[in-house]
Amino acid sequence: MAKPPRLLIRTFARYTERTAFERPLTSGVAYAVRVLHSEREQFEKQQGWTIKRMDTLEQNPVHKDDYNPDLLEPSPIQEEYAPVVFAQDIVSHVVSIDMLSGQEDSKNVLCARKSGKGVLTAPFRLLKTNRLGVILTFAVYKRDLPLNATPTERIQATDGYLGGVFDIESLVEKLLQQLASKQTILVNVLDTTNQSYPISMYGLNASNDGLEHVSLLNFGDPFRKHEMRCRFKQKPPWPWLGITTSIGILVIALLVGHIFHATVNRIAKVEDDCHKMMELKKQAEAADVAKSQFLATVSHEIRTPMNGVLGMLHMLMDTDLDVTQLDYVRTAQASGKALVALINEVLDQAKIESGKLELEEVQFDLRAILDDVLSLFSGKSQDKGVELAVYISDQVPQMLIGDPGRFRQIIINLMGNSIKFTEKGHILVTVHLVEEVIDSIEVETESSSENTLSGFPVADRRQSWKGFRTFSQEGFIHPFSHSINLIVSVEDTGEGIPLEAQSRVFTPFMQVGPSISRTHGGTGIGLSISKCLVNLMKGEIGFASIPKIGSTFTFTAIFTSGSSSSKKYKSQQINKMSNSVSSEFYGMRALVMDPRPVRAKVSKYQIRRLGIHVEVVSQWKQGLSSICRGSNAINMVIVEQEVWDKYLNNSTLFFDTLEKIDYGTPPKVFLLSNSISSSGANISTGVCNMTVIPKPLRSSMLAAALQRTMGVGNKGNPCNGQLNSLSLRNLLLGRKILIVDDNNVNLKVAAGAMKKYGADVVSATRGIEAIELLTPPHQFDACFMDIQMPEMDGFEATRRIRDMEHNINNRIHHGELSVEAYNNVSNWHVSILAMTADVIQATREECLRCGMDGYVSKPFEAEQLYREVSRFFQ
Amino acid sequence: MDLVQLQRQLVDYRTSLYHEGFLDEQFTQLQSLQDENNPDFVVEVVSLFFEDSERLLNELSKALEQQVIDFKRMDAQVHQLKGSSSSIGAHRVQKLCIVFRNYCEAQNVEGCLKCLQQVKHEYGIIKTKLESMFQLEQQILNAGGSIPV
C-alpha cells in the first residue's frame, strides 16, 4: 500500500466540497482504507499519525469545539482496521479514526463489504457534533466483481470504504421544506428496524394525540426500515363551514322529505276523498232514480182512487141536476181533474229533472183556463176572506196555440203561493199583451196606493218586470207576426217576501223559513219549475215584493195566435158553456156599482164575456139616477158588497125607488159578496129578491145566477156526458168504420160503442183481414186497430196498408192505373187509429212512425175518442 | 117482491159491486151502449167474456202443467184476458192479470201458479155476481118494469 500523496487528500476534500450540491442530503463524505494489522505500522508511518479509536459519548462528553482528535486513544490491537484517510472538510475530524472501532460503524462496514451494497447504520450520535445521524457505507473494491461473487471474494477484494454522513435533522428539514403549510407540522423520523423499539432519529417525542400520518422512508438500505410520522402541531379547528353546510343540507333534506311526505299524504287523501265522492255520487244518483221511481209509483197509486172519484162525479152528472148543482158538480170534477193533472205534473217534475220536458202545441182558450184556475182557488179564498179576481185584456185573442197545461201550472203555482201567504185584501191576476203594457209604461202616472182592488196597498207591478229584457230599449225585438207575447201578473196583498230571501226565491226547495212547510205545506219547488217552464215558453219571470205589503209576480210567455183552426193541432174541448150561454144574454145591459175602479174593471170584464153591456158607477145614487133615467133599459144591477154594507143595508130607499120604476120590469139586483154565508143573513125581509153571487166572479156563475132569476136559458143543460156523445154522434153518423181486434170481447165492446154513435161498423180479428179490407178501393172512413195481435201486430198491418196505398197512389199518378177505378180518389190514406191498453209515450211515437194517425186507449173514453176522431171528421 | 123493491135491490147491488171494486167505470160505459137498437148488448158482451175467459183459464192451467212451460204463449193469453176484462170493466180480474203478466215475464212458475189460482177465484166471483145481477134484471123485466140506469 503506497502512501497516498498529500495532494490526493486535498483533492478529495476540495472535490467533495464542490460536488456537495450533488449530494444535498449528505452532510459529508469520507473514505476509510482497509488496513490489515500486519500493515499497521507501515501505514501509521506513512500517514504520520496513529490509528485512533472512537470515543463513546457516555464516557467523555465533550463539547464539539473542544473536540480534539489528538486526544483520542490509539486503537487497540485488532485483526484489521479501517482508518479514515480522506474526508470532506465538514467531517475532517474523523480522519485517522478507525471506523471499525465504533460499534455501529464496524457493523456497517463489515456488512457493506460483504454485500456489496450500501448499508445504513442505526441512528446514533455523530462524533464531534453529537447530532443524530446515520452513515451510509459503500465498500470500494480493487477490481470489478461479478454479481454473483461470494462474500469471501468480496472481503478479499475490498480496498476501502466510502461513507456518507446523513445528519438526520438537517436531512429532515431539507426534505420537509416542501411540506411548509399554514399549520405547523410535527415530524418524527424513526428507525423502525426493530418494531418494538423504534429509534427516534428526528423530532420531538410529543404526545401522540391527533391524527398521525405515517410514511415509510427508503434510503436504499434493505436491512433497515425507516418511518416518518407527521402530525399537525395544533389541533385542527372545527370545520365550521363543513358543519354548517352539512347541517344546512340535512335541514333542507328533512324539509324536502317533509314536503314530499306531506304532498304524498295530501294526494292520497284527495284521492280518497275523490273515491268517497264517487261513491256518494253513485249513491246520490241511485237515490235520485229511486226517488223518481217512488214518485212515479206513488202517483200511480193515487191515480186509481182519483179515477174512482171522477167516475162517480161523471155518473152524478148523468143524473138529473139543476143549474147550481150542475155548476158545483162541474167544479168538483174540474178540481178532481186538476188533481189528477197535478199528479201528472209531479211525474213531470221527474221529467224536468232529467231534462226531458217538451211543450205541447195545442189550441186552447186562455179565458177558460183562468176560469178553471179561479174555480180551483175560489173555495180557499172565500174561506180566508181574500178577494180573488181575474182580468184578461180584450186584446188577447180568444184562442192561442201553446201548452195550456204548463201555462196553467205556472199560474196555479203563483196563485197557490199568493193564497198561502195572504190573509186579507186581494189576489189579482191580469193578462195583457206586452205591447199594451209597454205603451203604458211611459204614460204611467203616479198610482196611488189606494187605487187597488181591495184598497190595500200592493207591490208595484212595474218593479216586477223592471229587469225584463223584453222591455229594455235594445232588447225588444218584434216577434213574428203570428206570435202573441203575453204578460201575466199575479198581485197579492200578503206577507211579502223578506228582503234577505228575495234573491233565493227561484232556487228549488228554498222556502222563506223552516216553519213555512209546517204551517203552509209545500216543498218549495214550485217557483223553480215555473221558472223553467217560463223559460221554455221563451219568456221571463220576475217579482216585486215589499214585506208586510204584498208581492207581485210577473211573467211573459210567447204563444201563437190560434184563430186559424188548422187541422194539425189537436183542439182542446172548447168551453161549451160560454159559447152556448153567451148568446142568451147578448144585448142585455148591466149596471155595476163599485167605487174601486180596478175591481170594477174585473167585474166588467167577466160580465162582458156573456155579451152583456156594462156601465160602471162608483156612487149608488148616481146609479139610481141612471136607472131611473131609463134612456137605456137596464136589466140588472150588480152591487159590490162594500157598497151594500156601507150604504144600502139599512136603507130602503134603493129598493123602493127600483120598485117604483114604471117602465118595463125593474132590474134584478145581484150582490157580489166575498163569502156565501155573510150576506145571506143580511138580506132584510120585504126586499125584492136579491141574488147573491159569491166572488170570485166567474162568467159561469153569473150566467147560472142570471138564468135562475131571469128564467132565461134552458134549464138542465145537456150534461157533459150527453154533450160528448152528441158531438160524437155528429161526427160519426153514417161513417164506415173498421175495427180490428183479436179479442172478441174487446171487439164487441168497441163495435158497440161505435154503433151507438151511429157509425157503420165492420169487425175483423186479424191483421191480414184488415189489410184485405183496406185495399183500395174501399169505403172505409177510418180504422181502429188493436196493436197487440198474435199473427201480425197493428204496426205491421198499418205499415203494409200504407205501403199499399203509397204504391197505388204512385201508380195512379203515373197513369198506370185509372183513377176512376179507384172511386176517383188519387191519394188514398185511410185514417188508422191505434187502440192500445198501455198509453205510453213510446207507443205513441211508434204509432206515428208506422203511419198511424193517432191512438186511443182501450177501453174507449168518450172525450179522448172525440178528440182524436174530430181531427179527421170535422 | 114488488117492482120498486126489486129495482132498489138492483141499484144497491150494482152500487156495491162498484164500491167493492169488482166493476169499474167501464161497465157503466158498457151499459150506456145498450139502447133500444141494442137491448141485450151488455148480456151479450158479458157472455162472450165468460166464454173467452173460461177458455183462456183452461189453456193457462194446461200450460202450467207442462214439463216445459211456454211463458211467451202464456203471456199472450194473459194479455187477452186482461184486455177483455178491462173492456167490460171487471176491475179485479184486470188487476190480477197485470200481476200475472209480471210473473210470466219473470218466468216465475210459483208466482204464475199462485196468480192463476187467484184469477180463477176472482173470475168465479165476478161471474157469480154478474149472473145474479142479470137474474135480478130479468126479474124486473118479467115484472114489467124497466131497468134503472
What does the block give as the cell for A722? Answer: 150527453
Average pLDDT, chain B: 87
Which of A681, A710, A739 represents a domain boundary (last residue)? Answer: A710
Report whether pLDDT(A268) > 90: yes
Q: Which is higher by pLDDT, A409 or A210?
A: A409
pLDDT class of A282 with cuts at 50, 70, 90: very high
Report whether pLDDT(A648) > 70: no
Residues A804 and A680 in one domain: no
The nearest alpha carbon in chain B to A750 belongs to B87
Q: Which residue, chain included where needed, has cell 410514511?
A: A215
Residues A291 and A424 in one domain: no
CATH number at residue A147: 3.30.450.350
Q: Are A545 and A460 in contact (CB under 8 A)?
A: no
Give all strands (DSSP E) within A715-839, no chain letters: 736-740, 760-764, 782-786, 831-836
- pLDDT of amino acid A838: 66
Where is average pLDDT lowest: A372-376, A481-485, B61-65? Answer: A481-485
With an 8 Å Cβ cutoff, is B52 touching chain A? yes
- pLDDT of amino acid A237: 77
pLDDT class of B57 with cuts at 50, 70, 90: very high
Give me the helices (H) in A422-556, please: 434-443, 461-464, 516-520, 526-536
Report whether pLDDT(A753) > 80: yes
Residue B96 lies in a domain: yes
Report whether pLDDT(A816) > 80: yes
With an 8 Å Cβ cutoff, is A860 touching chain B? yes
Q: Which is higher by pLDDT, A55 or B86?
A: B86
Chain B nearest CA to A844, separation (Å): 19
| Pairing mode of beta strands A636-640, A668-673 | parallel
Report whether pLDDT(A279) > 90: yes
Phi and psi (nearest 5°) for A820?
Answer: -65, -35
Report whether pLDDT(A255) > 90: yes
Structural domain containing residue B118: 3-32+41-142
- pLDDT of amino acid A354: 64
Peptide bond into A696 cis (omega under 30): yes
- Residues of A with Cβ-Cβ distance to B25 under 8 angstroms: 307, 311, 314
Indicate if the alpha-carbon torsion angle A596, A597, A600, A606 is positive or negative. negative
Report whether pLDDT(A108) > 50: yes
Residue A574 lies in a domain: no
Residues A737 and A793 in one domain: yes
Residues A742 and A761 in one domain: yes
Residue A579 lies in a domain: no
Q: Are A351 and A295 in contact (CB under 8 A)?
A: no
Rounded to the nearest 10 degrees, the angle between the axes of helix A699-710 and helix A576-585 is: 50
With an 8 Å Cβ cutoff, is A766 touching chain B? no
- pLDDT of amino acid A179: 61
Report whether pLDDT(A752) > 70: yes
Q: Which is higher by pLDDT, B94 or A183?
A: B94
Q: Which residue, chain included where needed, has cell 138529473?
A: A320
B19, B33, B75, B81: which to substitute to probe chain A, counting the most A Cβ within 10 Å?
B33
Residues A706 and A667 in one domain: yes
With an 8 Å Cβ cutoff, is B84 touching chain A? yes
- Total structural domains within chain B: 1
Cα A127 from Cα A10, distance rounded (Å): 22
Cα A491 from Cα A463, distance rounded (Å): 12
- Residues of B with Cβ-Cβ distance to A318 under 8 angstroms: 149
**What percent of chain A has pLDDT above 90?**
10
pLDDT class of A490 with cuts at 50, 70, 90: very high
Residue B8 lies in a domain: yes
- pLDDT of amino acid A756: 79
Residues A266 and A301 in one domain: yes
Cα A265 from Cα A263, distance rounded (Å): 5
- pLDDT of amino acid A254: 96
Residue B20 lies in a domain: yes
Where is average pLDDT lowest: A561-565, A728-732, B78-82? Answer: A561-565
Task: Give the mean pLDDT of B102-109.
Answer: 87
**Binary contact (A837, B86; C-beta < 8 A):** yes
Residues A554 and A502 in one domain: yes
Query: How far is C-alpha A831 from the chain's CA centre?
Result: 51
Please write the tens of the pLDDT for every residue from A839-861: 555 567 778 888 888 888 777 77
Peptide bond into A859 cis (omega under 30): yes
Structural domain containing residue A345: 240-349
Report whether pLDDT(A191) > 90: no
Residue A571 lies in a domain: no
Residue B98 lies in a domain: yes
CATH number at residue B112: 1.20.120.160
Residues A363 and A500 in one domain: yes
Among A741, A543, A846, residue whose Cα is nearest residue B48: A741
Give the range with max mean pLDDT: A269-273, A410-414, A573-577, A783-787.
A269-273
With an 8 Å Cβ cutoff, is B15 touching chain A? no
Residue B132 lies in a domain: yes
B47, B75, B87: which to substitute to probe chain A, counting the most A Cβ within 10 Å?
B87
Residue B147 lies in a domain: no
Residue A582 lies in a domain: no
Among B4, B23, B29, B31, residue whose Cα is nearest residue A860: B29
Name the CA radius of gyration of chain A, rounded: 67
Chain A nearest CA to B16, separation (Å): 13
With an 8 Å Cβ cutoff, is B76 touching chain A? yes
Report whether pLDDT(A155) > 90: no
End-to-end CA distance of chain A: 170
The C-alpha angle A797, A730, A752, rounded to 5 degrees, equals 55
Residue A438, amino acid: I
Residue A715 lies in a domain: no
**Binary contact (B87, A314; C-beta < 8 A):** no
Pick from A307, A837, A859: CB nearest B29: A859
Going by C-beta distance under 8 Å and a sequence separation of 6 or more, which residues neighbour residue A53? A72, A73, A74, A75, A76, A97, A98, A101
Q: How many CB atoms lie within 10 A of CB A282?
A: 10
Where is average pLDDT lowest: A145-159, A441-455, A464-478, A543-557? Answer: A441-455
Task: Give the mean pLDDT of A27-46.
Answer: 83
- pLDDT of amino acid A678: 45
Cα A830 from Cα A801, distance rounded (Å): 9
Q: Which is higher by pLDDT, A716 or A248?
A: A248
pLDDT class of A152 with cuts at 50, 70, 90: confident
Residue A631 lies in a domain: yes
pLDDT class of A682 with cuts at 50, 70, 90: very low
B15, B17, B25, B85: which to substitute to probe chain A, counting the most A Cβ within 10 Å?
B25
Which of A644, A679, A710 represents a domain boundary (last residue)? Answer: A710
Cα A254 from Cα A248, distance rounded (Å): 10
Peptide bond into A777 cis (omega under 30): yes
A:339-358 residues touching chain B, CB 8 A cutoff: none
Task: Give the mean pLDDT of A680-693.
Answer: 53
pLDDT class of A613 with cuts at 50, 70, 90: confident
Among A833, A605, A624, residue whose Cα is nearest residue A699: A605
Q: A831 pairs with which residues across the strands?
A: A782
3-state secondary structure of A149: coil
Rounded to the nearest 10 degrees, the angle between the axes of helix A323-353 and helix A366-384 is: 100
Please write the tens of the pLDDT for every residue from A313-348: 888 888 888 888 888 898 898 888 777 767 766 666
Report whether pLDDT(A267) > 90: yes
CATH number at residue A855: 3.40.50.2300
Residues A651 and A798 in one domain: no
Residues A611 and A659 in one domain: yes
Residues A615 and A702 in one domain: yes
Q: Which is higher by pLDDT, A178 or B13?
A: B13
- pLDDT of amino acid A278: 95
Residues A414 and A552 in one domain: yes
- Total structural domains within chain A: 6
With an 8 Å Cβ cutoff, is B44 touching chain A? yes
Q: Are A842 and A859 in contact (CB under 8 A)?
A: no
- pLDDT of amino acid A716: 40
Chain B nearest CA to A726, separation (Å): 13
Residue B17 lies in a domain: yes
Report whether pLDDT(A660) > 60: yes
Task: Give the mean pLDDT of A105-126.
Answer: 79
Report whether pLDDT(A103) > 70: yes
A-B contacts (CB, under 8 Å): 71
- Residue A433, H or E segment: strand A426-433
